[in-house]
Chains A and B, each alone.
Chain A
């Protein structure tokens, strides 16, 4: 029983990390059908934002709270620029976009390497997040609880923004039917830019949060990216709800696999589960416009 609770909690915790990394991806993918491989590097940028902020400010607690909004801005601006310079021009070429953004990611990694060195850097955890909390006989580090809370706040905020703000309504309209939204007078260009800003900003926030549980190196983002993508694939395109469920499910799955075998087998196990899952539910994973096949 205790072990089950422990695995479930670890799963929830891993899931919320995945979710933070995948939330922005799910948004930008749902919006434009664009796979942004540089999303991992936006996360990495968030990590280094946290690092630099702490170098400047010193106090771990204050710098964390300041780094979160700065991380959002840093990630958001990077996404905004990427969208305006490249992605906008590659609309209707999703696979090419994937490769182009991978190139962008390579460059951003090297920028980080040249600025901060290839060695990993560490951000110290604030006093109030040190230690753990006992939950049903399992000790969970406070940092992980913080990340869970942050994931919940982020999902809630995105949901509220999408549902209740005019900008959010425009985004949902464009996701639902791009052409119709355009004829209704919505500037899809502005909406695309806004979505990319928000989605990439979320990557920045994720990056800041991830410094609490690991060190930061130029390839930090890349290590989260594949898992984040799997969340988006399993969750269905652009569905926030799907992303939440998939992240928690994959996190739990990974935790269960890891306790029952090795970490290396766990990755393979998760991959097999996803392929099997696709046999059962490929719906929602592709859309087919019947009137034209173009």
Chain B
């Protein structure tokens, strides 16, 4: 069930001598929503950049036994590793359907590219349903609401058959209702994929994380379940601050997330 889809070993990224990521190990498993949290500058996005081929690193990233270090961005993407960006990046002058059709077609032959699309592929139709944009197939992505763009970007990874999804702040700027929908969506898609979420929002993390890795100054500070991480002394000191507010902030919410996670797990099953 919980098979490992992506393995990162001892990842180091440095910019002009500054180590943005300093020896991080990470495993992403099928069926889990894995949160990467940490203060600003902890190296979360840089880690995602490294895995997806944007930032140079030392160490190793493997998927299905293939070493991905040094591979080009499109190659890594075609290996099934998809990512989103902090500012949702979709093709604003194309419709929702066109956006998804492009995302579904990375393996298309030149010949099929040069012809017109006769009908939308089945998985594009299914994904539009799944991300709640079925009614917007012909809408230009540029005029979608903020949250809808983020869902569309996630949908683009789904139709591209990515089974490792790296989502950079997927709920930034979303309202309460949209967050809940996104949380459900994450668990829904994690059923047969590995999902990693870079996030600042603690409530969202507590409500949705199957596993949490806390980064600080480029290194892993703690890793484990929400409960394990929340009670970790180092995490409280570094991430939540040393003030007395820290325990009181985590304490009352402790019950809630586990309950949420039960329901979440029930959904997955």
Name A residues whose Cβ lies closer than 8 Å to a Cβ of B. Answer: 288, 290-294
Which residues of B lie under 8 Å from residue A292 when comparing CB positions? 85-87, 89
| Chain A residue, CB-CB nearest to B55 | A290
- Could you tell me the distance between the alpha carbons of A290 and B44 in the complex, rounded to whole angstroms? 12
- Could you tell me the distance between the alpha carbons of A127 and B87 in the complex, rounded to whole angstroms? 63
- Indicate whether B99 reaches chain A with its CB closer than 8 angstroms: no
Q: Is the CB of B87 within 8 A of A290?
A: no
- Contacts A291-B168, A292-B87 known; list 17 others, CB within 8 Å: A288-B54, A290-B45, A290-B46, A290-B49, A290-B54, A290-B85, A291-B45, A291-B85, A291-B86, A291-B87, A292-B85, A292-B86, A292-B89, A293-B87, A293-B89, A294-B87, A294-B89
What per-residue 1/0 map shows which CB atoms of B67-89 lie under 8 Å from chain A?
A: 00000000000000000011101
Which residues of A lie under 8 Å from residue B89 when comparing CB positions? 292-294
Q: Is the CB of B85 within 8 A of A293?
A: yes
Nearest-Cβ distance from residue A288 to partner chain B, whole angstroms: 7
Which residues of A lie under 8 Å from residue B85 when comparing CB positions? 290-293
- Could you tell me the distance between the alpha carbons of A293 and B54 in the complex, rounded to whole angstroms? 12
Which residues of B lie under 8 Å from residue A291 when comparing CB positions? 45, 85-87, 168
| Chain A residue, CB-CB nearest to B48 | A290
Measured as residues with beta carbon below 8 angstroms from the partner, the interface class of chain B is: 10 to 19
- Considering only residues 80-115 of chain B, those with a C-beta below 8 Å from chain A are 85-87, 89
Which residues of B lie under 8 Å from residue A288 when comparing CB positions? 54
- Considering only residues 169-183 of chain B, those with a C-beta below 8 Å from chain A are none
Nearest-Cβ distance from residue A180 to partner chain B, whole angstroms: 13
- Could you tell me the distance between the alpha carbons of A292 and B54 in the complex, rounded to whole angstroms? 13
Nearest-Cβ distance from residue B154 to partner chain A, whole angstroms: 15
Nearest-Cβ distance from residue A8 to partner chain B, whole angstroms: 33
- Could you tell me the distance between the alpha carbons of A288 and B45 in the complex, rounded to whole angstroms? 14
- Could you tell me the distance between the alpha carbons of A294 and B168 in the complex, rounded to whole angstroms? 15
- Could you tell me the distance between the alpha carbons of A212 and B33 in the complex, rounded to whole angstroms? 71
Listed A/B pairs (5) with beta-carbon separation below 8 Å: A291-B85, A292-B85, A292-B87, A292-B89, A294-B87
- Could you tell me the distance between the alpha carbons of A290 and B5 in the complex, rounded to whole angstroms? 24
Nearest-Cβ distance from residue A255 to partner chain B, whole angstroms: 35
A-B contact count (CB 8 A): 21
**Main DSSP-derived SS at the B contact region:** loop
Interface centre among A288, A290, A294 (most CB of B within 10 A): A290
- Could you tell me the distance between the alpha carbons of A183 and B113 in the complex, rounded to whole angstroms? 46
Which residues of B lie under 8 Å from residue A293 when comparing CB positions? 85, 87, 89
Nearest-Cβ distance from residue A113 to partner chain B, whole angstroms: 41
- Could you tell me the distance between the alpha carbons of A294 and B45 in the complex, rounded to whole angstroms? 16
Nearest-Cβ distance from residue B227 to partner chain A, whole angstroms: 31
Which residues of B lie under 8 Å from residue A290 when comparing CB positions? 45-46, 49, 54-55, 85
- Could you tell me the distance between the alpha carbons of A294 and B46 in the complex, rounded to whole angstroms? 18
- Could you tell me the distance between the alpha carbons of A288 and B53 in the complex, rounded to whole angstroms? 13
- Could you tell me the distance between the alpha carbons of A155 and B46 in the complex, rounded to whole angstroms? 37
- Could you tell me the distance between the alpha carbons of A290 and B54 in the complex, rounded to whole angstroms? 8
Nearest-Cβ distance from residue A293 to partner chain B, whole angstroms: 4
- Could you tell me the distance between the alpha carbons of A168 and B87 in the complex, rounded to whole angstroms? 33
Q: Closest 10 interchain pairs by CB? A: A292-B87, A293-B89, A291-B86, A290-B49, A294-B87, A293-B85, A292-B86, A292-B85, A290-B54, A291-B45
Which residues of A lie under 8 Å from residue B168 when comparing CB positions? 291
Nearest-Cβ distance from residue B16 to partner chain A, whole angstroms: 12
Nearest-Cβ distance from residue B97 to partner chain A, whole angstroms: 21
Which residues of A lie under 8 Å from residue B86 when comparing CB positions? 291-292
| Chain A residue, CB-CB nearest to B46 | A290
Nearest-Cβ distance from residue A140 to partner chain B, whole angstroms: 40
Nearest-Cβ distance from residue B30 to partner chain A, whole angstroms: 27
| Chain A residue, CB-CB nearest to B168 | A291
- Could you tell me the distance between the alpha carbons of A112 and B111 in the complex, rounded to whole angstroms? 54
Nearest-Cβ distance from residue A106 to partner chain B, whole angstroms: 30
- Could you tell me the distance between the alpha carbons of A21 and B79 in the complex, rounded to whole angstroms? 48
Which residues of A lie under 8 Å from residue B49 when comparing CB positions? 290
- Could you tell me the distance between the alpha carbons of A293 and B168 in the complex, rounded to whole angstroms? 12
- Could you tell me the distance between the alpha carbons of A4 and B137 in the complex, rounded to whole angstroms? 68
Nearest-Cβ distance from residue B44 to partner chain A, whole angstroms: 11
What per-residue 1/0 map shows which CB atoms of B131-162 lie under 8 Å from chain A?
A: 00000000000000000000000000000000
Nearest-Cβ distance from residue A177 to partner chain B, whole angstroms: 14
Nearest-Cβ distance from residue A283 to partner chain B, whole angstroms: 11
| Chain B residue, CB-CB nearest to A293 | B89
Interface centre among B45, B55, B85 (most CB of A within 10 A): B85
Which residues of B lie under 8 Å from residue A294 when comparing CB positions? 87, 89
- Could you tell me the distance between the alpha carbons of A229 and B57 in the complex, rounded to whole angstroms? 34
| Chain B residue, CB-CB nearest to A291 | B86
| Chain B residue, CB-CB nearest to A288 | B54
- Could you tell me the distance between the alpha carbons of A291 and B89 in the complex, rounded to whole angstroms? 10
- Could you tell me the distance between the alpha carbons of A121 and B177 in the complex, rounded to whole angstroms? 73
Which residues of A lie under 8 Å from residue B46 when comparing CB positions? 290
- Could you tell me the distance between the alpha carbons of A50 and B175 in the complex, rounded to whole angstroms? 64
